Amino acid sequence: MRTLEGRAALVTGASKGLGKAMALALAEAGARLALVARSRDLLEQVAAECRAQGVEAEAYPADVSDEQAVARLAADVIARFGRLHILINNAGINVRKPVTDYSLEEWRSILDTNLTGPFLLCRALVPHMKGQGYGRIINICSTQSHVALVNRTAYCATKAGLLGFTRALAVELAPEGISVVGISPGVLLTEINEVWMDDPQMREWFLAKIPQGRFGRPEEIGKLAVFLCTEEAGVITGTDVLADGGFCAQ
């Protein structure tokens, strides 16, 4: 069903993995798409797949942690689409190591991409979402917004911060009819997890921790994102949807 027909949506980290899955799901629902990531070639491929579903899709290579790049991105997107209805902050990075081994540069790069990036995008684009009586901001949080894993201090800090940002922004934008929601996926079969997916012991350890006994599929999160963008989901704001196979329920 084309439940998002005519809506303009911007998705960061859209060149692969979860971002690509959400972009394709939004395209299937009829949304016009601004796709953002650092890799132009991969973005163009995703944009072509979205256009094949009969929607407008444009690739915007950009670094979401760069203030000037985000300002240019916002100007270009508004010039092309006129307004923005949906913003999905998905771009994120992770470095797995003990806290004593992080360089300050590594710490700051994770903070800048995972937390400052969503702030910059919201600051630049929220003015163009107001006054419509409708808007959706989805921040891709994590189970590590809620629980911790070893050797992930920087990632956990940024994802917990993003959840707090989501709640505060939801209260701020509620009078505008703009819903702000987090999605916290569990372990997904995406590129960011390839570093350990090929390790049989690590795979079995994670599977043993998930009550459903399986990893999530990016397409499942894509469908969830589409639902959260529909009119029927308008009352859902200031919260976080855990999609983790029961991992955090234990």
From 60, 102, 134, 155, active-site residue: 155
Residue 116, helix vs strand vs coil: helix
Q: Are 162 and 139 in contact (CB under 8 A)?
A: yes
Strands (E), 92-203: 135-140, 178-185
Structure tokens at 188: 């997904």
Residue where the block lists tokens 């808007």: 135
Q: Where are the beta strands (DSSP E) in 26-100?
A: 32-37, 57-61, 86-89
Helix, strand, coil shares, percent, the chain, to 5: 50, 15, 30
Those residues with Cβ within 8 angstroms of residue 38's Cβ, 6 or more apart along the chain or in another chain: 15, 61, 62, 63
Strands 135-140 and 178-185: parallel
Inter-residue contact 42 to 64 (CB < 8 Å): no
- Taking alpha carbons only, the member of 191, 192, 166, 190 closest to residue 179 is 166
As a whole number of angstroms, the distance between CA 121 and CA 149 comes to 28
Q: Is 155 a catalytic residue?
A: yes
- Please spell the DSSP secondary structure of 64-82, one letter per residue: TT-HHHHHHHHHHHHHHHS
Active site members: 155
